[in-house]
Structure 1
Amino acid sequence: MISDKNAQPNISCVIPVYNEGRRALDVINAVLGHDNVDEVIVVNDGSTDNSEFALKEIKGIELISYPQNKGKSHAVMLGFKKAKNNMVLMLDADLTGLDKESITALIKPVLENKADISISLRRNSLLFYRLLGLDFVSGERIFKKDIIEDLDELDKLSGFELESFLNKIIIRKKMRIRVVKWNKVGITRKSDKVGFWRGVAGDFKMAMEIICFLKIIGPVKQIASMISLKV
């Protein structure tokens, strides 16, 4: 809990889910009941496993569900549109080790006006990102959603372009960035979900979509620009 809660803005948490099953429940349970989060929106992005059934059993969440997988960007767009608060917390559904203390560490710099956005650096982020002190494609972030002038723009992105799109806004607006190291929280690798080779193929697809969105030199420019905005 962050002190002087009454002076803090309320937070809406948006969690996109696609075939995450038990992992999604662990993430949702970690954020439910957090003193600074008064709305948890879970978007079931056309899951084909038992995710929808499991999510319907959880009390205290706003559930958006649809039958066809449309990608993370679409799911987050719907979550942001549903959110009643301007301050939004994005969490991926495949996190491991998430607890309320980790959530507090992420949101605290923004709520205390020491940063405009906080971005997580997970314990198993790529070594390159950990050495840089920034995971520029981390999906765990807190910021005010009105930095996005038109939420419908998110629907034009592929599933893996969302974070890069947000980074462009962060850089253009010169937002103060706080990177929060999550030493206990990791993310489930694609290879652990679908097998080694399918996981490698999925990671390659994600990397190619990011590079195509930013052009070849784009990721380097984004990383350098964002590092310069760290506080």
Structure 2
Amino acid sequence: MSVGTSASPTPRVAVVIPAYNEQETVGNVVRAALTLTPEVVVASDGSADATAQVARTAGAKVVELLENAGKGPALAAALQATDAEYVVMLDADLQGLTREHLDVLLRPVLDGSLDMTIGVFAGGSFASDFGNKMTPQLSGQRACRRDWLLGVPRLATERWPEPAITSHLKATDARWAYVELPQLAQVLKETKRGFWSGLGARSKMYGHLLTFWVRKRRGE
């Protein structure tokens, strides 16, 4: 053994996945995440389908919220279910996820060059790419330190937490960047729920997101 040298401990990484009625896709997302780390936590956000069972069978630790409270509360619940130093956040409706995508997200955070990465689709599908590139700040594919994410104000109360995370990035002068995730796509709400129902859900989501700053100033 060389004097004065020691191996650096391997940092613990967990993958956290908020999920609401995603039984068709969550299993594949979990299995891909397990190629990175054995710590994969799915928070089933009051799902009415077999999301929790499918995720558990695929190998994830599952936290079940009794009611559909939103992505923020589900994300917070998943974070509380692990004490890993670093986390990779993923949506449960991804298609084509690979270990390479996870490495692209995580590597700049582990090596200390960034505090957060935000994944942007590239070449997965036209509809997914277009929506993701029009509003990349709303991407659910991210990596960062767990303690930083837990420090985001309103994280556990916002139905859609991405604006709160963006606000905290600015407030903490965090170093962040978009990273491309090639050949990765997301199932559209209109596909999962039917066109009109999906369009209505999308409209509600954007309405909630667009009013974040107004609600924040009002202290709501």
The TM-score normalised by the length of structure 2 is: 0.84
Q: Is the 8 A contact 1:44 1:65 kept in 2?
A: yes
Q: Distance in 1 between matches of 2:82 and 2:152?
A: 12
Whether 2:112 is the aligned partner of 1:113: answer yes
CA shift, 1:125, in A, is 4.5
Q: Distance in 2 between matches of 1:119 and 1:177?
A: 8
Identity %: 27
CA shift, 1:8, in A, is 4.7
The TM-score normalised by the length of structure 1 is: 0.81
* Aligned match of 1:21: 23
Query: Structure 2 residue aligned with 1:127, among 126, 130, 138?
Result: 130
* Aligned match of 1:136: 137
Identify if the C-alpha distance between structure 1 residues 150 and 181 changes in structure 2 by more than 3 Å, giving closer, same or farther. Answer: closer
Identify if the C-alpha distance between structure 1 residues 153 and 215 changes in structure 2 by more than 3 Å, giving closer, same or farther. Answer: closer
SS of the residue corresponding to residue 156 of structure 2 reads: helix
Identify if the C-alpha distance between structure 1 residues 151 and 128 changes in structure 2 by more than 3 Å, giving closer, same or farther. Answer: closer
Identify if the C-alpha distance between structure 1 residues 130 and 70 changes in structure 2 by more than 3 Å, giving closer, same or farther. Answer: closer
* Aligned match of 1:44: 44
Match for 1:145: what amino acid? Answer: R
Match for 2:75: what amino acid? Answer: V
Deviations 1:6-25 (A, max 9, x none): 55522111111111112000
Matches within 5 A, 1:187-202: 187-202=186-201
Q: Which runs of 5+ in 2 are unaligned?
A: 1-6
SS of the residue corresponding to residue 156 of structure 1 reads: coil
Q: Distance in 2 between matches of 1:148 and 1:118?
A: 12
Match for 2:113: what amino acid? Answer: K
CA shift, 1:150, in A, is 4.8
* Aligned match of 1:12: 14
SS of the residue corresponding to residue 89 of structure 1 reads: strand
Q: Give the number of aligned pairs.
A: 206
Identify if the C-alpha distance between structure 1 residues 6 and 95 changes in structure 2 by more than 3 Å, giving closer, same or farther. Answer: farther
CA shift, 1:147, in A, is 2.0
* Aligned match of 1:183: 182
Q: Is the 8 A contact 2:15 2:87 kept in 1?
A: yes
Deviations 1:123-157 (A, max 9, x none): 355637637xx700001111112224657842322
Q: CA RMSD in A?
A: 2.4
Q: Is the 8 A contact 1:95 1:186 kept in 2?
A: yes
Q: Distance in 2 between matches of 1:148 and 1:101?
A: 23
Identify if the C-alpha distance between structure 1 residues 24 and 175 changes in structure 2 by more than 3 Å, giving closer, same or farther. Answer: same
Matches within 5 A, 1:142-221: 142-148=143-149, 150=151, 153-157=154-158, 159-160=159-160, 162-215=161-214
* Aligned match of 2:35: 33
Deviations 1:181-210 (A, max 9, x none): 112111111001011111111111111101
Q: Distance in 1 between matches of 2:144 and 2:116?
A: 5
Q: Is the 8 A contact 1:8 1:111 kept in 2?
A: no
Q: Which runs of 5+ in 1 are unaligned?
A: 219-231
Runs of 4+ in 1 over 6 A off after TM superposition: none
